[in-house]
Amino acid sequence: SSKLDVPEALTFDDVLLRPKESTVEPDEADLSTRVSRNVDLNVPILSAAMDTVTTSELAIEMARQGGLGVIHRNMDDDRMVHEITQVKRADELIIRDVVTAEPEQTVRDVDALMETEGVSGAPVVNDDDEVLGIISGTDIRPYLEVGERDEVQEAMTDEVITAPEDVTAREALELMYEHKIERVPVVDEQNRLTGLVTMQGILQRREYNNAARDDEGRLLCGVAVGPFSTERAIKADEAGANVLFIDCAHAHNRNVVEGAKEIKESVDADVVVGNIGTREAAEDLVGFADGLKVGIGPGSICTTRVVSGAGMPQITAVSQVADVASQHDVPVIADGGIRYSGDAIKAIAAGADAVMLGSYFAGTDEAPGRVITMNGKKYKQYRGMGSVGAMKGGDSEENRYLKEEPDEEEYVPEGVEAAKPYKGSLASELHQLTGGMQSGMGYVGAETIPEFKERAEFVRVSSAGQAESHAHDVVITDEAPNYSPE
């Protein structure tokens, strides 16, 4: 066969979902999914492992909204462990960084301490961490005018209600209700303080009733690691990351596959491997990977296809990988190129179980970096991890596009440095994204993601059809929250 006898590959704008008879109202469509063999999400959405997108701040909000943040790897090991810990602790029932008071401290000192730490009460412990009492603003108030030099042990409540390590939210609430208190110290068998449960913490958790949590109720956390960083992967695993993402621009590479296998054998967390874009790559990885991530060149800031001449349009890439992965019950994540909610649900129709986005979230409050103003409009920085800035600017040698450490003028970047319009809160962006995806499920008549994957069919769109899809022949007067023309 001739070199020019070539197959066609399609991307988002080449296809549309074929409308089908439906009994599903969009707001009834259930977006829950599996991101890797052992990890479920309530919303099939991940934030990209990029240094202008995901650190703990955005990852916390992603998990609270039911999705998953994947912490980037342009940082050293200690910082990575810190970032993971922040996510795992964010909504923990039992607070571990407890502000404590000592019995001989003065009431005045404790009052000042509580003020600076922003807490309204503190367990009182001795040198062995044994709980002697608890002191709150209410206990302190009568002392402030007349007895602020008195010792804490005078003012504290010494009949303190404590709870064991395995206390549940319900049990803690019952204790608080029964004793009319707002915080319960958690102790071990020797009555030593190990943590604290607060009413405020429990109520805050209730607010996020769709959050993606582990068995102990902590928020789920993903993190990117290099294919040859087994030590680092073990640290991420021990810090509590639930899913490790082997982060590589071309994972269908013998050495990368070997590296990823070694990591998989060394950790308890699920290991998702990527990126790939072909059936053959999927076949080489399904044997051990807990998930496959697809995307060779679709990213908004990515120039891989132009620089290297290689790539695979994303709808075809996802569908090829999903063909193989679905036979082995391995979830697939479509990573990159998603501009609208319609693209996200098309990726799922092509066979993905979840989608990963960078540009969509880069303009939000929770993304790292500050708001910049150009020509009176607000933006936030967004750069490819293969851009010169990201390759130079990381705190470690961890970078998936960096072969060795060249001088600055020798970099061959595969990404650009850019900016995204400032967007406000991540929650409102996610609301638009999930709402649009649910609409897509409604048009296809599917109530769940697995049903949707089964039922969805594409039609091929011509460039005339593509022009018809967008707002056309009008001047837009008020920008919609989920649409801006390219």
Bridge partner list, 114: none
User: Residue 92, Cβ neighbours under 10 Å: how many?
Assistant: 16
Which candidate in 206, 279, 400, 455 is catalytic?
A: 400
Asked if residue 301 binds ligand RVP (CB under 6 A), the reply is: yes
CB of 321 to ligand RVP, least distance (A): 14
Based on CB atoms, which residue is closest to ligand RVP, 57 or 335? 335
Instruction: Please choose, from the candidates 348, 314, 352, the residue with its C-alpha nearest in 3D space to the C-alpha of residue 439.
Output: 348
CB of 291 to ligand RVP, least distance (A): 14
How far is it, in rounded angstroms, from Cα 186 to Cα 54?
32
Q: By the 8 A CB rule, do 32 and 26 touch?
A: no
Based on CB atoms, which residue is closest to ligand RVP, 259 or 295? 295
Q: What is the dihedral of CA 318, 319, 323, 325, to 10 degrees?
A: 10
Of these, 17, 24, 48, 107, which contacts ligand RVP (CB under 6 A)? 48
451 annotated as ligand-binding: no
Based on CB atoms, which residue is closest to ligand RVP, 268 or 405? 405
Evaluate the CA torsion angle 230, 277, 455, 346 in order and state its sign: positive
CB of 150 to ligand RVP, least distance (A): 58
CB of 405 to ligand RVP, least distance (A): 17
Q: By the 8 A CB rule, do 285 and 264 touch?
A: no
**Could you tell me the end-to-end alpha-carbon distance of the chain, in angstroms, rounded to an integer?**
39
Asked if residue 246 binds ligand RVP (CB under 6 A), the reply is: no
295 annotated as ligand-binding: yes
Asked if residue 69 binds ligand RVP (CB under 6 A), the reply is: no
Of these, 299, 351, 363, 394, which contacts ligand RVP (CB under 6 A)? 299
Q: Lay out the site mask for ligand RVP across 331-370 (x = CB under 6 A, - = otherwise).
A: ----xxxx-----------------xxxxx----------
Bridge partner list, 383: 417
The radius of gyration of the chain's CA atoms, rounded to the nearest angstrom, is: 26
Eight-class DSSP state of 12:
G
Residues 138-167 that bind ligand RVP (CB under 6 A): none
For residue 460, give the H/E element and its range.
strand 458-460
Number of residues that bind ligand RVP (CB under 6 A): 24
159 annotated as ligand-binding: no
Based on CB atoms, which residue is closest to ligand RVP, 187 or 251? 251
337 annotated as ligand-binding: yes
Which candidate in 302, 305, 455, 460 is catalytic?
A: 302
Amino acid code (one letter) for 232: R
DSSP labels, 221-289: -EEEE-TT-HHHHHHHHHHT-SEEEEE-S---SHHHHHHHHHHHHH-SSEEEEEEE-SHHHHHHHTTT-
Q: Lay out the site mask for ligand RVP across 376-395 (x = CB under 6 A, - = otherwise).
A: --------xxxx--------
How far is it, in rounded angstroms, from Cα 350 to Cα 315?
6
In what side-by-side order are the strands of the sheet with 183-187? 163-164, 183-187, 193-198
Of these, 14, 343, 366, 414, which contacts ligand RVP (CB under 6 A)? 414
Of these, 302, 322, 330, 437, which contacts ligand RVP (CB under 6 A)? 302
Bridge partner list, 163: 186
32 annotated as ligand-binding: no
DSSP labels, 130-165: BEEEEEEHHHHGGGTTT-TTSBHHHHSB-S---EET
Shortest-Cβ-distance residue relative to ligand RVP: 415
Told to judge if 400 belongs to the known catalytic residues of this protein, a careful annotator would answer: yes
Binding residues for K(+): 297, 299, 302, 468-470
Binding residues for NAD(+): 247-249, 295-297
Q: Which residues are catalytic?
A: 302, 400
Q: Which residues bind ligand RVP (CB under 6 A)?
A: 48, 50, 275, 295, 299-302, 304, 335-338, 356-360, 384-387, 414-415
Binding residues for IMP: 300, 335-337, 358-359, 382-386, 414
